[in-house]
Amino acid sequence: MSDKKISYKYAEDRIIAEFKAYIDKTYSEHYKTESNSVECFDAWIALGDSTPTFRNTALKYLWRYGKKNGNNKADLMKTLHYTLMCLFVSQSRYPSLKSLSTLSTLSTYTLSTLITLRT
């Protein structure tokens, strides 16, 4: 591995750092259950249809880019985040949350309970 520092032509290093800061910030903003262990993303994954949901949500934010609040950087960050979640699911070794510890927490709730907790 080379110790040579890459000079990014398109500021990719800065954009990736901003994207990481955006994701870090979302961890305090996401809707979670009272125990803060289950997020909506977990429910989508557990239901087994997360990839289309993540893909479609990314498309929604990309579609509205430039239409709501102008060229809204937040829409692009959300697009990247949902795309990243598609990568997470596609590269995971499990098709759902069955092998994750959060499944035991999720299984104590019905989907209607999760929706009730969100409102």
Tell me the percentage of the chain whose pLDDT exceeds 70.
Answer: 68
Sequence spans of domains, the chain = 14-118
DSSP letter (8 states) at residue 28: T
Q: What is the pLDDT of residues 34-53, one digit of tens each?
A: 666 778 888 888 888 899 99
- Position 116 scores a pLDDT of 56
73-107 confidence digits (pLDDT tens): 999 999 999 999 999 998 876 544 444 444 444 54
Helices (H) and strands (E) in the chain, counts: 6, 0
Sign of CA dihedral 109, 110, 114, 117: negative
pLDDT at position 1: 58
